[in-house]
Amino acid sequence: MASAAVTVTRAFGMIDMACEPLILHGYWRSTASWRVRIALGLKGLEWEGKAHDLRAGDQRASDYLALNPQGFVPALEVGDDLLTQSLAIIEYLDELHPDPPLLPAEPLERAKVRAFAQVIACDIHPVQNLKVLKMLKKTGLDQAAIDAWAVQVIEQGLAACSELIAENSGPFCFGDKVTLADVLLVPQLGNARRFGARFDFGRITEIEAACAKLPAFAAARPENQPDADA
Amino acid sequence: MASAAVTVTRAFGMIDMACEPLILHGYWRSTASWRVRIALGLKGLEWEGKAHDLRAGDQRASDYLALNPQGFVPALEVGDDLLTQSLAIIEYLDELHPDPPLLPAEPLERAKVRAFAQVIACDIHPVQNLKVLKMLKKTGLDQAAIDAWAVQVIEQGLAACSELIAENSGPFCFGDKVTLADVLLVPQLGNARRFGARFDFGRITEIEAACAKLPAFAAARPENQPDADA
Protein backbone atom coordinates (compact mmCIF):
# COMPACT_ATOMS: atom_id res chain seq x y z
CA MET A 1 0.00 0.00 0.00
CA ALA A 2 1.18 3.54 -0.69
CA SER A 3 1.75 5.64 2.38
CA ALA A 4 -1.21 7.83 3.21
CA ALA A 5 0.71 11.05 3.38
CA VAL A 6 -1.92 13.49 2.15
CA THR A 7 -4.74 14.57 4.37
CA VAL A 8 -7.84 16.54 3.57
CA THR A 9 -9.11 18.96 6.13
CA ARG A 10 -12.30 20.89 5.90
CA ALA A 11 -12.59 24.44 7.16
CA PHE A 12 -15.99 26.01 7.58
CA GLY A 13 -16.13 29.77 7.49
CA MET A 14 -19.60 30.11 8.97
CA ILE A 15 -22.05 27.63 10.34
CA ASP A 16 -25.36 29.47 9.98
CA MET A 17 -26.55 26.95 7.41
CA ALA A 18 -26.23 24.29 10.06
CA CYS A 19 -29.33 25.82 11.67
CA GLU A 20 -31.58 25.47 8.62
CA PRO A 21 -34.48 23.11 9.36
CA LEU A 22 -34.04 19.73 7.65
CA ILE A 23 -37.07 18.02 6.12
CA LEU A 24 -36.49 14.55 4.72
CA HIS A 25 -38.94 13.38 2.08
CA GLY A 26 -38.78 9.62 2.16
CA TYR A 27 -40.53 6.30 2.39
CA TRP A 28 -40.05 3.72 5.11
CA ARG A 29 -39.02 0.93 2.74
CA SER A 30 -36.90 2.99 0.34
CA THR A 31 -33.31 1.89 0.89
CA ALA A 32 -31.97 5.21 -0.38
CA SER A 33 -34.12 7.04 2.22
CA TRP A 34 -32.87 4.57 4.82
CA ARG A 35 -29.26 5.57 4.03
CA VAL A 36 -30.02 9.24 4.66
CA ARG A 37 -31.86 8.45 7.91
CA ILE A 38 -28.77 6.63 9.18
CA ALA A 39 -26.51 9.56 8.28
CA LEU A 40 -28.83 12.09 9.94
CA GLY A 41 -28.81 9.94 13.06
CA LEU A 42 -25.04 9.46 13.10
CA LYS A 43 -24.64 13.23 12.87
CA GLY A 44 -27.11 13.72 15.70
CA LEU A 45 -29.22 16.07 13.60
CA GLU A 46 -32.84 17.04 14.21
CA TRP A 47 -35.01 16.44 11.18
CA GLU A 48 -38.64 16.24 10.19
CA GLY A 49 -39.82 13.35 8.04
CA LYS A 50 -42.43 13.60 5.29
CA ALA A 51 -43.54 10.20 4.07
CA HIS A 52 -44.57 9.47 0.48
CA ASP A 53 -46.14 6.05 -0.08
CA LEU A 54 -44.38 4.88 -3.23
CA ARG A 55 -46.81 1.97 -3.64
CA ALA A 56 -49.74 4.40 -3.79
CA GLY A 57 -47.87 6.70 -6.17
CA ASP A 58 -47.76 9.57 -3.65
CA GLN A 59 -44.45 10.69 -5.09
CA ARG A 60 -46.36 11.75 -8.23
CA ALA A 61 -48.76 13.98 -6.28
CA SER A 62 -48.82 17.51 -7.66
CA ASP A 63 -47.67 19.20 -4.45
CA TYR A 64 -44.60 16.96 -4.25
CA LEU A 65 -43.81 17.35 -7.96
CA ALA A 66 -43.98 21.12 -7.49
CA LEU A 67 -41.20 20.74 -4.91
CA ASN A 68 -39.27 17.94 -6.62
CA PRO A 69 -40.04 17.57 -10.35
CA GLN A 70 -38.27 14.21 -10.45
CA GLY A 71 -40.74 12.79 -7.96
CA PHE A 72 -38.11 10.65 -6.28
CA VAL A 73 -37.30 10.03 -2.66
CA PRO A 74 -35.19 10.74 -0.76
CA ALA A 75 -35.02 14.51 -1.06
CA LEU A 76 -33.81 16.80 1.69
CA GLU A 77 -35.26 20.26 2.13
CA VAL A 78 -32.59 22.58 3.53
CA GLY A 79 -34.23 25.96 3.99
CA ASP A 80 -35.34 27.00 0.50
CA ASP A 81 -33.15 24.45 -1.21
CA LEU A 82 -33.90 20.86 -2.16
CA LEU A 83 -31.15 18.27 -2.34
CA THR A 84 -31.60 14.96 -4.15
CA GLN A 85 -29.62 11.74 -4.57
CA SER A 86 -28.80 9.97 -1.32
CA LEU A 87 -25.01 9.93 -1.70
CA ALA A 88 -24.91 13.64 -2.52
CA ILE A 89 -27.14 14.37 0.47
CA ILE A 90 -24.96 12.32 2.81
CA GLU A 91 -21.72 13.94 1.63
CA TYR A 92 -23.41 17.34 2.11
CA LEU A 93 -24.30 16.42 5.68
CA ASP A 94 -20.76 15.15 6.21
CA GLU A 95 -19.20 18.39 4.94
CA LEU A 96 -21.49 20.61 6.99
CA HIS A 97 -21.38 18.50 10.14
CA PRO A 98 -17.97 16.85 10.03
CA ASP A 99 -18.18 15.18 13.45
CA PRO A 100 -18.22 12.20 13.38
CA PRO A 101 -16.72 12.00 9.88
CA LEU A 102 -18.18 9.49 7.44
CA LEU A 103 -15.08 9.51 5.26
CA PRO A 104 -11.43 9.01 6.27
CA ALA A 105 -9.04 11.95 6.08
CA GLU A 106 -6.68 10.60 3.40
CA PRO A 107 -7.71 10.83 -0.28
CA LEU A 108 -6.76 7.22 -1.06
CA GLU A 109 -8.75 5.90 1.87
CA ARG A 110 -11.64 8.19 1.02
CA ALA A 111 -11.60 6.82 -2.52
CA LYS A 112 -11.81 3.26 -1.23
CA VAL A 113 -14.75 4.01 1.04
CA ARG A 114 -16.51 5.86 -1.77
CA ALA A 115 -15.83 2.99 -4.19
CA PHE A 116 -17.44 0.51 -1.79
CA ALA A 117 -20.45 2.80 -1.42
CA GLN A 118 -20.68 3.16 -5.17
CA VAL A 119 -20.68 -0.58 -5.79
CA ILE A 120 -23.94 -0.52 -3.86
CA ALA A 121 -25.27 2.81 -5.14
CA CYS A 122 -24.33 2.24 -8.80
CA ASP A 123 -23.84 -1.49 -9.42
CA ILE A 124 -26.39 -3.13 -7.14
CA HIS A 125 -29.28 -0.94 -6.07
CA PRO A 126 -30.25 0.70 -9.40
CA VAL A 127 -30.40 -2.70 -11.11
CA GLN A 128 -32.68 -4.30 -8.51
CA ASN A 129 -34.85 -1.41 -7.31
CA LEU A 130 -38.61 -1.27 -7.63
CA LYS A 131 -38.52 0.85 -10.78
CA VAL A 132 -36.40 -1.65 -12.70
CA LEU A 133 -38.34 -4.65 -11.43
CA LYS A 134 -41.54 -2.98 -12.67
CA MET A 135 -39.88 -2.43 -16.06
CA LEU A 136 -38.97 -6.12 -16.13
CA LYS A 137 -42.56 -7.06 -15.36
CA LYS A 138 -43.73 -4.92 -18.28
CA THR A 139 -41.48 -6.92 -20.61
CA GLY A 140 -43.54 -9.98 -19.68
CA LEU A 141 -41.09 -11.62 -17.29
CA ASP A 142 -42.75 -13.75 -14.61
CA GLN A 143 -42.28 -13.10 -10.91
CA ALA A 144 -39.85 -15.97 -10.37
CA ALA A 145 -37.57 -14.68 -13.12
CA ILE A 146 -37.79 -11.13 -11.73
CA ASP A 147 -36.88 -12.31 -8.25
CA ALA A 148 -33.99 -14.35 -9.67
CA TRP A 149 -32.75 -11.20 -11.44
CA ALA A 150 -32.71 -9.28 -8.16
CA VAL A 151 -31.01 -12.09 -6.28
CA GLN A 152 -28.28 -12.42 -8.91
CA VAL A 153 -27.54 -8.69 -8.89
CA ILE A 154 -27.45 -8.50 -5.10
CA GLU A 155 -25.31 -11.61 -4.59
CA GLN A 156 -22.73 -10.63 -7.22
CA GLY A 157 -22.59 -7.09 -5.86
CA LEU A 158 -22.22 -8.07 -2.23
CA ALA A 159 -19.50 -10.56 -3.12
CA ALA A 160 -17.66 -7.66 -4.79
CA CYS A 161 -18.21 -5.50 -1.70
CA SER A 162 -16.75 -8.25 0.42
CA GLU A 163 -13.61 -8.36 -1.75
CA LEU A 164 -13.15 -4.61 -1.43
CA ILE A 165 -12.86 -4.83 2.35
CA ALA A 166 -11.08 -8.19 2.59
CA GLU A 167 -7.82 -6.57 3.69
CA ASN A 168 -9.47 -4.47 6.41
CA SER A 169 -10.35 -5.54 9.90
CA GLY A 170 -13.60 -4.66 11.65
CA PRO A 171 -15.84 -4.21 13.37
CA PHE A 172 -16.99 -1.92 10.54
CA CYS A 173 -16.25 -2.05 6.80
CA PHE A 174 -13.12 0.07 7.06
CA GLY A 175 -11.96 -0.46 10.62
CA ASP A 176 -13.15 0.81 13.96
CA LYS A 177 -15.14 3.78 12.71
CA VAL A 178 -18.45 3.85 10.86
CA THR A 179 -18.08 5.24 7.35
CA LEU A 180 -20.21 5.91 4.32
CA ALA A 181 -19.59 2.27 3.39
CA ASP A 182 -21.52 0.98 6.42
CA VAL A 183 -24.28 3.53 5.84
CA LEU A 184 -24.82 2.06 2.37
CA LEU A 185 -24.26 -1.57 3.28
CA VAL A 186 -26.89 -2.01 5.97
CA PRO A 187 -29.92 -0.94 3.89
CA GLN A 188 -28.68 -3.04 0.98
CA LEU A 189 -28.62 -6.05 3.29
CA GLY A 190 -32.24 -5.26 4.09
CA ASN A 191 -32.97 -5.65 0.40
CA ALA A 192 -30.91 -8.83 0.24
CA ARG A 193 -33.06 -10.31 2.99
CA ARG A 194 -36.29 -9.28 1.26
CA PHE A 195 -35.29 -11.11 -1.91
CA GLY A 196 -33.73 -14.08 -0.13
CA ALA A 197 -30.28 -13.33 -1.51
CA ARG A 198 -27.16 -14.73 0.15
CA PHE A 199 -24.96 -12.26 1.95
CA ASP A 200 -22.77 -14.34 4.21
CA PHE A 201 -19.69 -13.20 2.32
CA GLY A 202 -16.54 -12.45 4.34
CA ARG A 203 -17.21 -10.06 7.20
CA ILE A 204 -20.53 -8.74 5.87
CA THR A 205 -22.81 -10.26 8.51
CA GLU A 206 -20.44 -9.28 11.33
CA ILE A 207 -20.46 -5.69 10.11
CA GLU A 208 -24.25 -5.68 10.00
CA ALA A 209 -24.36 -6.92 13.60
CA ALA A 210 -21.88 -4.25 14.72
CA CYS A 211 -23.95 -1.51 13.06
CA ALA A 212 -27.19 -2.83 14.55
CA LYS A 213 -25.87 -2.01 18.03
CA LEU A 214 -25.67 1.69 17.22
CA PRO A 215 -28.78 3.80 17.98
CA ALA A 216 -28.57 5.69 14.65
CA PHE A 217 -28.79 2.43 12.70
CA ALA A 218 -31.59 1.07 14.88
CA ALA A 219 -33.69 4.23 14.63
CA ALA A 220 -33.32 4.33 10.84
CA ARG A 221 -34.69 0.84 10.22
CA PRO A 222 -37.79 0.73 7.99
CA GLU A 223 -39.99 -0.91 10.61
CA ASN A 224 -39.20 1.93 13.02
CA GLN A 225 -40.60 4.64 10.75
CA PRO A 226 -44.04 6.19 11.42
CA ASP A 227 -45.27 5.28 7.90
CA ALA A 228 -44.27 1.59 8.17
CA ASP A 229 -46.88 -1.11 7.64
CA ALA A 230 -48.32 -2.37 10.90
CA MET B 1 -32.07 29.78 -2.48
CA ALA B 2 -30.29 29.72 0.86
CA SER B 3 -27.20 31.86 1.04
CA ALA B 4 -24.07 29.90 0.34
CA ALA B 5 -22.21 30.98 3.43
CA VAL B 6 -20.17 27.89 4.11
CA THR B 7 -17.11 27.06 2.09
CA VAL B 8 -15.01 23.94 1.99
CA THR B 9 -11.29 24.30 1.60
CA ARG B 10 -8.85 21.51 1.14
CA ALA B 11 -5.42 21.57 2.67
CA PHE B 12 -2.80 19.11 1.58
CA GLY B 13 -0.04 18.37 4.01
CA MET B 14 2.29 16.73 1.52
CA ILE B 15 2.09 16.16 -2.19
CA ASP B 16 4.43 13.23 -2.68
CA MET B 17 1.51 10.99 -3.72
CA ALA B 18 0.94 13.32 -6.64
CA CYS B 19 4.09 11.86 -8.17
CA GLU B 20 2.91 8.24 -8.17
CA PRO B 21 2.60 6.93 -11.75
CA LEU B 22 -1.04 6.65 -12.86
CA ILE B 23 -2.12 3.65 -14.93
CA LEU B 24 -5.70 3.68 -16.16
CA HIS B 25 -7.21 0.32 -17.00
CA GLY B 26 -10.03 1.05 -19.41
CA TYR B 27 -11.75 0.39 -22.69
CA TRP B 28 -12.28 2.91 -25.44
CA ARG B 29 -16.06 2.55 -25.51
CA SER B 30 -16.64 2.24 -21.74
CA THR B 31 -18.40 5.44 -20.70
CA ALA B 32 -17.13 5.10 -17.15
CA SER B 33 -13.54 4.93 -18.46
CA TRP B 34 -14.32 7.93 -20.66
CA ARG B 35 -15.30 9.95 -17.57
CA VAL B 36 -11.94 9.24 -15.92
CA ARG B 37 -10.03 10.10 -19.11
CA ILE B 38 -11.75 13.50 -19.17
CA ALA B 39 -10.89 14.15 -15.53
CA LEU B 40 -7.24 13.15 -16.02
CA GLY B 41 -7.07 15.51 -18.99
CA LEU B 42 -8.73 18.42 -17.16
CA LYS B 43 -6.18 18.02 -14.36
CA GLY B 44 -3.34 17.94 -16.86
CA LEU B 45 -2.04 14.66 -15.48
CA GLU B 46 0.28 12.23 -17.21
CA TRP B 47 -1.12 8.71 -17.33
CA GLU B 48 -0.57 5.42 -19.03
CA GLY B 49 -3.52 3.55 -20.50
CA LYS B 50 -3.98 -0.21 -20.45
CA ALA B 51 -6.82 -1.34 -22.69
CA HIS B 52 -9.05 -4.33 -21.95
CA ASP B 53 -11.35 -5.36 -24.80
CA LEU B 54 -14.65 -5.93 -22.99
CA ARG B 55 -16.19 -7.58 -26.06
CA ALA B 56 -13.44 -10.20 -26.07
CA GLY B 57 -13.74 -10.71 -22.29
CA ASP B 58 -10.21 -9.42 -21.64
CA GLN B 59 -11.38 -8.05 -18.30
CA ARG B 60 -11.70 -11.68 -17.12
CA ALA B 61 -8.09 -12.52 -18.02
CA SER B 62 -6.24 -13.98 -15.04
CA ASP B 63 -3.56 -11.30 -14.91
CA TYR B 64 -6.17 -8.56 -14.72
CA LEU B 65 -8.27 -10.44 -12.17
CA ALA B 66 -5.15 -10.81 -10.03
CA LEU B 67 -4.94 -7.02 -9.98
CA ASN B 68 -8.67 -6.28 -9.87
CA PRO B 69 -10.79 -9.24 -8.68
CA GLN B 70 -13.98 -7.48 -9.82
CA GLY B 71 -12.72 -7.47 -13.38
CA PHE B 72 -14.31 -4.11 -14.12
CA VAL B 73 -12.97 -1.08 -15.88
CA PRO B 74 -12.10 1.64 -15.16
CA ALA B 75 -9.54 1.02 -12.46
CA LEU B 76 -6.70 3.36 -11.65
CA GLU B 77 -3.36 2.06 -10.43
CA VAL B 78 -1.77 4.61 -8.12
CA GLY B 79 1.56 3.19 -7.08
CA ASP B 80 0.75 -0.05 -5.29
CA ASP B 81 -2.90 0.83 -4.85
CA LEU B 82 -5.83 0.19 -7.14
CA LEU B 83 -8.83 2.50 -7.18
CA THR B 84 -12.16 1.48 -8.69
CA GLN B 85 -15.50 3.16 -9.44
CA SER B 86 -15.24 6.14 -11.76
CA LEU B 87 -16.82 8.72 -9.43
CA ALA B 88 -14.57 7.70 -6.55
CA ILE B 89 -11.53 7.88 -8.83
CA ILE B 90 -12.49 11.33 -10.10
CA GLU B 91 -13.10 12.73 -6.61
CA TYR B 92 -9.72 11.29 -5.59
CA LEU B 93 -8.03 13.10 -8.48
CA ASP B 94 -9.92 16.26 -7.57
CA GLU B 95 -8.80 16.11 -3.94
CA LEU B 96 -5.18 15.42 -4.81
CA HIS B 97 -4.99 17.87 -7.70
CA PRO B 98 -7.48 20.58 -6.78
CA ASP B 99 -6.69 22.89 -9.69
CA PRO B 100 -8.92 23.25 -11.62
CA PRO B 101 -11.59 22.12 -9.15
CA LEU B 102 -14.34 19.82 -10.42
CA LEU B 103 -16.65 20.69 -7.54
CA PRO B 104 -17.73 24.14 -6.30
CA ALA B 105 -16.49 25.36 -2.90
CA GLU B 106 -19.87 25.57 -1.11
CA PRO B 107 -21.43 22.38 0.28
CA LEU B 108 -24.90 23.11 -1.14
CA GLU B 109 -23.50 23.73 -4.60
CA ARG B 110 -21.25 20.70 -4.32
CA ALA B 111 -24.30 18.60 -3.42
CA LYS B 112 -26.14 19.82 -6.51
CA VAL B 113 -23.26 19.02 -8.83
CA ARG B 114 -22.87 15.60 -7.22
CA ALA B 115 -26.62 14.94 -7.49
CA PHE B 116 -26.53 15.67 -11.23
CA ALA B 117 -23.56 13.34 -11.63
CA GLN B 118 -25.35 10.66 -9.65
CA VAL B 119 -28.48 10.83 -11.78
CA ILE B 120 -26.19 9.66 -14.57
CA ALA B 121 -23.97 7.33 -12.51
CA CYS B 122 -26.81 5.73 -10.52
CA ASP B 123 -30.12 6.24 -12.36
CA ILE B 124 -29.14 6.08 -16.03
CA HIS B 125 -25.88 4.31 -16.77
CA PRO B 126 -26.23 1.16 -14.60
CA VAL B 127 -29.67 0.43 -16.05
CA GLN B 128 -28.58 0.68 -19.68
CA ASN B 129 -25.00 -0.57 -19.63
CA LEU B 130 -23.73 -3.59 -21.52
CA LYS B 131 -23.99 -5.88 -18.50
CA VAL B 132 -27.70 -5.21 -17.98
CA LEU B 133 -28.51 -5.37 -21.68
CA LYS B 134 -26.86 -8.80 -21.78
CA MET B 135 -28.95 -9.88 -18.80
CA LEU B 136 -32.08 -8.69 -20.64
CA LYS B 137 -31.06 -10.72 -23.68
CA LYS B 138 -30.72 -13.80 -21.49
CA THR B 139 -34.34 -13.35 -20.34
CA GLY B 140 -35.36 -13.84 -23.98
CA LEU B 141 -36.08 -10.22 -24.86
CA ASP B 142 -35.54 -9.38 -28.53
CA GLN B 143 -33.10 -6.70 -29.68
CA ALA B 144 -35.79 -4.13 -30.44
CA ALA B 145 -37.20 -4.41 -26.92
CA ILE B 146 -33.70 -4.20 -25.43
CA ASP B 147 -32.91 -1.07 -27.42
CA ALA B 148 -36.25 0.45 -26.40
CA TRP B 149 -35.36 -0.25 -22.76
CA ALA B 150 -32.06 1.63 -23.12
CA VAL B 151 -33.70 4.54 -24.93
CA GLN B 152 -36.39 4.91 -22.27
CA VAL B 153 -33.87 4.91 -19.42
CA ILE B 154 -31.58 7.42 -21.15
CA GLU B 155 -34.36 9.79 -22.20
CA GLN B 156 -36.04 9.87 -18.79
CA GLY B 157 -32.69 10.33 -17.08
CA LEU B 158 -31.46 13.11 -19.32
CA ALA B 159 -34.80 14.92 -18.95
CA ALA B 160 -34.23 14.77 -15.18
CA CYS B 161 -30.67 16.06 -15.63
CA SER B 162 -32.03 18.94 -17.65
CA GLU B 163 -34.44 19.86 -14.85
CA LEU B 164 -31.64 19.86 -12.30
CA ILE B 165 -29.75 22.58 -14.18
CA ALA B 166 -32.75 24.56 -15.47
CA GLU B 167 -32.06 27.46 -13.10
CA ASN B 168 -28.37 27.70 -14.03
CA SER B 169 -26.87 29.49 -16.99
CA GLY B 170 -24.08 28.06 -19.15
CA PRO B 171 -21.97 27.46 -20.97
CA PHE B 172 -21.47 24.42 -18.71
CA CYS B 173 -23.95 22.55 -16.51
CA PHE B 174 -23.32 24.72 -13.49
CA GLY B 175 -22.10 27.99 -14.94
CA ASP B 176 -18.85 29.11 -16.47
CA LYS B 177 -16.65 26.35 -15.03
CA VAL B 178 -16.49 22.68 -15.95
CA THR B 179 -17.58 20.47 -13.07
CA LEU B 180 -18.06 16.80 -12.34
CA ALA B 181 -21.51 17.20 -13.90
CA ASP B 182 -20.08 17.93 -17.34
CA VAL B 183 -17.54 15.13 -16.96
CA LEU B 184 -20.42 12.68 -16.49
CA LEU B 185 -22.79 14.23 -19.01
CA VAL B 186 -20.66 14.09 -22.15
CA PRO B 187 -19.99 10.32 -22.12
CA GLN B 188 -23.65 9.66 -21.33
CA LEU B 189 -24.58 11.66 -24.43
CA GLY B 190 -22.27 9.37 -26.37
CA ASN B 191 -24.41 6.48 -25.18
CA ALA B 192 -27.59 8.38 -26.01
CA ARG B 193 -26.37 8.80 -29.56
CA ARG B 194 -25.44 5.12 -29.87
CA PHE B 195 -28.96 4.07 -28.92
CA GLY B 196 -30.72 6.82 -30.87
CA ALA B 197 -32.15 8.38 -27.71
CA ARG B 198 -33.35 12.00 -27.67
CA PHE B 199 -31.24 14.43 -25.71
CA ASP B 200 -32.28 17.85 -26.94
CA PHE B 201 -33.58 18.73 -23.51
CA GLY B 202 -32.98 22.27 -22.24
CA ARG B 203 -29.33 23.29 -22.49
CA ILE B 204 -27.95 19.76 -22.86
CA THR B 205 -26.79 20.00 -26.47
CA GLU B 206 -25.27 23.46 -25.90
CA ILE B 207 -23.29 22.12 -22.94
CA GLU B 208 -22.02 19.23 -25.04
CA ALA B 209 -20.85 21.69 -27.71
CA ALA B 210 -19.09 23.86 -25.12
CA CYS B 211 -17.28 20.84 -23.69
CA ALA B 212 -16.28 19.59 -27.14
CA LYS B 213 -14.16 22.71 -27.59
CA LEU B 214 -11.92 21.79 -24.65
CA PRO B 215 -8.84 19.65 -25.43
CA ALA B 216 -9.41 17.37 -22.42
CA PHE B 217 -12.86 16.41 -23.68
CA ALA B 218 -11.66 15.96 -27.27
CA ALA B 219 -8.72 13.77 -26.26
CA ALA B 220 -10.93 11.55 -24.09
CA ARG B 221 -13.39 10.64 -26.83
CA PRO B 222 -13.64 6.90 -27.56
CA GLU B 223 -12.60 7.23 -31.20
CA ASN B 224 -9.39 8.96 -30.11
CA GLN B 225 -8.17 6.03 -27.99
CA PRO B 226 -5.44 3.68 -29.28
CA ASP B 227 -7.69 0.62 -28.82
CA ALA B 228 -10.64 2.07 -30.78
CA ASP B 229 -12.04 0.19 -33.75
CA ALA B 230 -10.62 1.45 -37.03
**Given an 8 Å threshold on Cβ–Cβ distance, is B108 in contact with A88?**
no
SS3 A100: coil
Q: With a cut of 50, say whether residue B5 has pLDDT above it.
A: no
A53 interfacial to chain B (CB closer than 8 Å): no
**Average pLDDT value for residue range B69-81:** 92
- What are A187-208's pLDDT values in tens digits? 999 999 999 999 999 999 999 9
Q: Within chain A, where are the H helices?
A: 31-42, 62-67, 86-96, 107-118, 125-128, 130-138, 143-164, 180-195, 204-212, 215-220
Per the model's pLDDT, the better-predicted residue between B189 and B54 turns out to be B189
Query: A105-114, A128-137, A208-217, B51-60: lowest mean pLDDT where?
Result: B51-60
- Please say if the pLDDT value at position B184 is more than 80: yes
Q: Of A207-221, B11-25, B170-184, B189-203, where does mean pLDDT reach its minimum?
A: B11-25
A6–B20 CB contact, under 8 Å: no
**Is the confidence at residue A60, as pLDDT, over 70?**
yes
Phi, psi at residue B178, to the nearest 5°?
-65, 135
CA distance B97 to A95: 19
Q: What is the mean pLDDT of residues B131-139?
A: 94
Give, in order, the Cα–Cα distances in Å from A123 to each of A154, B28, B179.
Answer: 9, 20, 23
Any idea where the domains of chain B sit in the sequence?
A: 16-100, 107-223
Q: Quickly state the pLDDT bin for B10 (edges 50, 70, 90).
A: very low
Tell me if B10 sits within 8 A of B53, measured CB to CB: no
Q: Which fold has domain B16-100?
A: Glutaredoxin (3.40.30)
Nearest to B181 by CA among A85, A212, A109: A85
Which percentage of chain B shows pLDDT scores above 70? Answer: 92
Q: Do domains A23-99 and A107-223 have the same CATH topology?
A: no
**pLDDT higher than 90, residue A71:** no
User: In the predicted model, is pLDDT for residue B74 greater than 80?
Assistant: yes
- The DSSP element (H or E) to which B51 belongs, if any, is strand B48-51
Chain A environment of B108 (Cβ under 8 Å): 17, 78, 81, 83, 92
Query: What integer is the mean pLDDT of A146-162?
Result: 96
Comparing A68-72, A77-81, A183-187, B177-181, which segment has the lowest mean pLDDT?
A: A68-72
Strand-pair category, B48-51 with A81-84? unpaired
Q: Which residues are within 8 A (CB) of A97 and not within 5 positions of it... i.e. 6 or more apart?
A: A18, A43, A45
- Under the banding of pLDDT at 50, 70 and 90, the label for residue B19 is low
Residue-wise DSSP of A67-91 = H-TT--S-EEEETTEEEESHHHHHH
Percentage, residues of chain A above pLDDT 90: 81
Q: Please say if the pLDDT value at position B14 is more than 70.
A: no
Chain B 120-159, residues with CB within 8 Å of chain A CB atoms: 121-123, 125-127, 132, 135-136, 139, 141, 145, 149, 152
Mean pLDDT (whole number) for B172-190: 98
Among A110-114, A193-197, B69-73, the least confident range: B69-73
B92 Cα to chain A: minimum distance (Å): 6
- Please give the backbone phi and psi of residue B143, each rounded to the nearest 5 degrees, phi first: -60, -35
| Beta-bridge mates of residue B45 | none
Q: If you ran DSSP here, which 8-state letter would residue A223 be given? A: G
Is A12 in Cβ contact with B12 (below 8 Å)? Answer: no
Mutate to test the interface with B, among A36, A139, A155 (most CBs of B within 10 A): A139
Averaged pLDDT for residues B44-61? 91
Topology of domain A23-99 in CATH is: Glutaredoxin (3.40.30)
The stretch A51-71 carries a mean pLDDT of 88
Task: Tell me the pLDDT of chain B averaged across its residues.
Answer: 91
Secondary structure element (H or E) that encloses residue A24, with its range: strand A22-26
Q: Which fold would CATH assign to domain A107-223?
A: Glutathione S-transferase Yfyf (Class Pi); Chain A, domain 2 (1.20.1050)
Interface test with A, best of B1, B3, B6 (most A CBs within 10 A): B6
Check pLDDT > 90 for residue A10. no
- Among partner residues B96, B122, B160, which is closest to A70 by beta-carbon distance? B160
B7 contacts in A (CB within 8 Å)?
A: 11-13
Tell me, what's the pLDDT at A58?
A: 86
